[in-house]
Amino acid sequence: LEEEEVLQVWWRMGLVDTDDARGTVRSDKLPRRSAYVKSNMEDVSATGDAMDVVMHGPAPLPLNEPPVDNPMEGSYSWVIKDWSKISNTKQRSETFTIGGHNWRLLIFPKGNSCEFLSIYLDVADVNLQPYGWSRYAHFSLTVMSHTDEHKYSVKKDTSHTFEGRESDWGFTQFLGLADLSDPAKGFISNEDTMIIDCEVQVRIDQAPYHYDSRKETGYIGLKNQGATCYMNSLLQTLFHIPYFRRAVYHMPTTESDPPDLSIPLALQSLFYKVQFADNAVATKDLTRSFGWDAYDSFMQHDVQELNRVLCEKLEEKMKSTTVEGTIQKLFEGHMVNYINCLDVEYKSTRKEAYLDLQLDVKGCKDVYASFDKYVEVEKLDGDNKYRAEGHGLQDAEKGVKFMDFPAVLQLQLKRFEYDFQRDTMVKINDRYEFPESLDLDAGDGKYLSPDADRSVRNKYLLHSVLVHSGGVNGGHYYAYIRPELQGQWFKFDDERVTREEASKALNDQYGGDDDGPNNGGYNPAVAPGLKLPKYSNAYMLVYVRETDTDQIMCDATEQDIASHLVTRLKKEQEEKERKKKEKAEAHLYIVVKLATAEDSVKQIGSDIFFDLVDHEKCKPIQVVKQTPFVEFKRRVATELGVPVWRQRYWLWAKRQNQTFRPNRLLQPEEESQTMAQIRENTTKTPAASSDLKLFLEVVSEEEAAAFAEANPRAGAGAGAVPMQQGHDDFPARAVSGGLVVQVQQQQQQHMMTVALQPPPLPKNHILLFFKLYNPRAETLQYVGHLLMDQGSRMSDNKEAMLRLAAATGGLRAGEDIALYEEIKYEPQIYCEKVEWRNPLKSGLQLGDGDIICIQPIIPQSEIHKGTVRFGIVPEFLEYIRNRQRVIFRELANPREDKLSLDLSKSMTYDAVTAKLAEALGLSDSTTLRLSAHNCYSHAPKLPSLAYRAVDTLTDMLDRFNSTSDILYYEVLDMPLPELERLKTLKIMFHGRDTKHVETFNVRMPNESCVADVLADLKGRLGEKLTPGADLRLLELFYSKIYKVFPDTEKIEGIDDQYWTLRAEEVKPEEDGDLPGQGKHSTTNAVVVGSPPEEGDGMGGGVGGGGEWSRSEKLIHVYHFYREGATTNANRTSRQSGGADNNNDNNDRNQAVQNFGDPFLLRVGADEPLSAVKRRIQAWGTGPCLH
């Protein structure tokens, strides 16, 4: 900017003392690089969630002030038509230009994982930006109201430094979807149109500031792989427990351990980098060691489950080492579940361990209220009495007390629960307070068992707060951590670490309603009294016991790390720095992909079969852009040992038929240019990162000598370049005939002038490449290239081609040859036979870069005998193009490769099964049934492929836009076509006591009915069946009866893949038709667990569901437990049933899980519930009921 413009801007910002724009500059108010101002706006990237934005550098100019005439600011209005018809999850505007930069708006019409309209400003041409680019802008976004622009329009503004990793910025929760669709507010017009206005001010910053977490805070973050923010927050918490970190460092690992297969080594590597690296660290090695793939990294997992699995894995690896018992020492506490009878001397107790505690949030004010609820005593009386051994049913008290608390206390807050009324999981955003100092000895030790060690002081300091921002279906995790257990809090949000005030970690994470000034962006005048719930709140708390602080918060230094790990990681860092430097300097260099005859010899017949080379496998040569081409030739001479005067270079070109061939010779005048000029002048669309592809033709010594003899003065003209003797690394060579044109001796050095240009291409000659196909060995190899006169016939060059072929040993003595031109291979093979008598140019249309395949002529007798499969090149190339290596696995053992076969993609179903049957030694291929591979679950895709249901092998391998090379097979006991005309049902037979006896596979014709199936079962059961007993067939799912099949139902529609089928004897008391019901009718349900209350509405579950009547009814009974906590095996929290699995009537909001075998029971309408309970207990299939 001009000086006057700069002073005007400073005056508006209060940086000059007088009203005169040329007044004195106040140096004390000049912006400094290290200063930053926190913005209270909800600014986020489209790929992230709500976060506090740190603005660096000068504050932006307010948009409502009179603007200075500045081309760096402007506005854009996006009119979105047919709003209700938008089905995409995200929508982008057209590109608009402000401040010389291209922008566009990005919206999520249905919200970015939330119930809000999400709007962002996006850099439109991010892929075209140079390395390290950035731009700083202040912008506002407004959703216009068609009803009242001033009253209802919603406007938000923010500032951001746009760069490669944060190329979009805006507001995830811009406007609630409910308000967006409110007709009274008019955001969507009657014409189904919405308008978004955007105003942008681009600020010029000569040295844009990039936030550096390490420099600003002393800590660094972890990179998010897609949906791993929950893992990042947990790992940061564990890392900042130094005792845990030291234990990880001391776990035994070896130098040969691959980090992506060893959890200890991956975690050691991660912790080391987080402690000593300068930038955010990737977690891919760690997730790979978990066995996760990229798909898992984009799926959010549960923090508690991840913590438990990680600790169990580490605990297992720590056994028999110096750090054995670390997990228990840090995180393990103990509790005792008790039931105490009130009227007799009987007490039942059970001690169990836990690694963390689940605390209720709903109905609790704070952590202390949750602990009060945890140890709350439950009365067991009335119908819910406790059956004490030797004393019968007794009144009792049931509860939990803590034997001890761990040094590091992990509290999982139950923010998610199942809502029975809405039949879905919901998030509890209620206000829930947690103290910075937690005293669990409060109330005279009311949380402790009488047997607890009271000498231990259970007072804790808050170490970290893990936060979940969002709803039940998705959101974002981050952590507030106090690494020193006092003073400064830090926010660890994936890659970004910032200093935060204590209120951010405490008060702001209590949850409840949003009382802030923004209140979610709602205008109080529009919705007076409206408060929105905070969607960001604490999810997990970590406390450290005060008395253990010195031990837990110890020093973890580089001396604690194994030397081999330090060496490995330092090498990785050096390699990373080298690549970073190369990337930063890439714009100074050109990468030359130089293909040689040696590359074709290595690749053709093994890596590739079509064209000449795969340039990605050619050795890249990096040269400075301004390097003269003659210097490049000297380098090639040094590295490849090819003298400069024998180097002839060809440019590659992509033809219309999609083949890539050497196209034309690089001319002498072009060789006088720099490498950058050559690339720019020879590439149609040169890009900054595009490679220069060249083919090096090595001129034969014979051709060079012949040229020198015919042109004794060659090279004495302008093409001769002086060159210092010994400059080339290859030995000096005495060449006669003018190649060395001048030798001149001066005072202290010897100079010689060498003709750097190779012999020119003979006039009217073309460069052809040759491959040799051996039909007997089924091999294809590169044999060389020839320069041929384009006016000659192919027969004129036969001797030269025979010499090429014979040199490889691929021809028998006296064997004649045939020629084929390789023209193209996509979308199909086109390989044409070459006639000997036709001229190369006018008859065969051959040119530079064409490929000729030579092959011996195979007698028909060999082909008929079957010793030669592909007698000519086109057949072999067709086979190669369609060749597919297929791995076959047994369906019964889907993890182990059984065999592999080379097949053709065009093979029919019958051909594939025939090849497999031959490999397995089967005489009938129709007894094979194949199953496709699921690329996402890495398991067989069921149901299996029907007989001839697919046409080709390609159809078998390509399933739902994914391609695999795996098929599963099973050998049947009958031909598959016959089996498909039958219905196979897997039926579990249960005896009269409902216990599982045997599993049967019943095959019946599709038109059979249930009665036929039961009759077949009776015959197969024999003596196992009670004489004269009837059978019935039931349909079960998750231990609950859903249907009793009538005898007349056709079996064709019965599904035994999703449902479980069970056949059982009909009990004598159930014989005969019930009044008002059929023989197999059922109604209502009794659950074994806590008895249903009156009006509970649990009836109508199976096969009927009428109201209770005076008649008898057949009801079904099933077992269940409520998801109150995990089991003792998980060691994470209390069991829902206390000491003897008694049920808590207050846990009705917890999810119900069925288990065991359900059964049917005949009851009378006048039979009391207590009698039904006794009959169920007498049945012996369920737990005791109280």
* Closest-CA residue to 40 (of 159, 131, 167, 137): 159
Give, for 722, the enclosing helix (H) or strand (E): strand 720-724
DSSP letters for 1107-1175: ---SS-EEEEEEEEEE-SS--TTTTSS--TTGGGT---TT-TTSPEEEEEEEEEEEE-TT--HHHHHHH
DSSP letters for 665-709: EPPHHHHTSBHHHHHHHH-SS--TTPPEEEEEEE--HHHHHHHHH
Partnered with residue 831 across adjacent β-strands are 822
Distance CA 600, CA 770 (A): 10
Cβ of 609: how many Cβ atoms within 10 Å? 19
Contact 712, 736 (CB under 8 A): no
Distance CA 464, CA 240 (A): 9
Does the active-site annotation cover 476? yes
DSSP 310: H
Contact 769, 612 (CB under 8 A): yes
Distance CA 852, CA 767 (A): 11
Sequence letter at residue 1179? W
Distance CA 776, CA 778 (A): 6
Q: Long-range CB contacts (< 8 A, 24+ apart) of 502-509?
A: 502/436, 504/52, 504/480, 505/465, 505/480, 506/434, 506/436, 506/462, 506/465, 508/534, 508/536, 509/465, 509/467, 509/480, 509/536, 509/537, 509/538
Contact 988, 1037 (CB under 8 A): no
Distance CA 730, CA 727 (A): 9
Give, for 502, the enclosing helix (H) or strand (E): helix 502-505
Count Cβ atoms within 10 A of the Cβ of residue 1107 and give its class: 0-12 exposed, 13-18 middle, 19 or more buried: exposed
Q: Which of 229, 341, 364, 831 does the annotation list as catalytic?
A: 229
Distance CA 840, CA 845 (A): 6
Sequence letter at residue 161? T
Q: Which of 476, 785, 933, 1080 does the annotation list as catalytic?
A: 476
Contact 788, 782 (CB under 8 A): no
SS3 845: coil
Distance CA 323, CA 249 (A): 10
Distance CA 40, CA 34 (A): 19
Backbone torsion region of residue 985, taken as left when φ is above 0, otherwise alpha when ψ lies between -120 and 50, otherwise beta: beta
Distance CA 1176, CA 814 (A): 95
Distance CA 1133, CA 373 (A): 14
Distance CA 236, CA 219 (A): 10
Does the active-site annotation cover 114? no
* Cβ neighbours for 382, distance < 8 A, ≥ 6 positions apart: none
DSSP 908: B
End-to-end CA distance of the chain: 85
**Which residue in the block uniquely carries the two structure tokens 């506090």?**
52
Distance CA 647, CA 694 (A): 11
Distance CA 697, CA 848 (A): 13
Distance CA 1031, CA 941 (A): 34
Known catalytic residues are: 229, 476
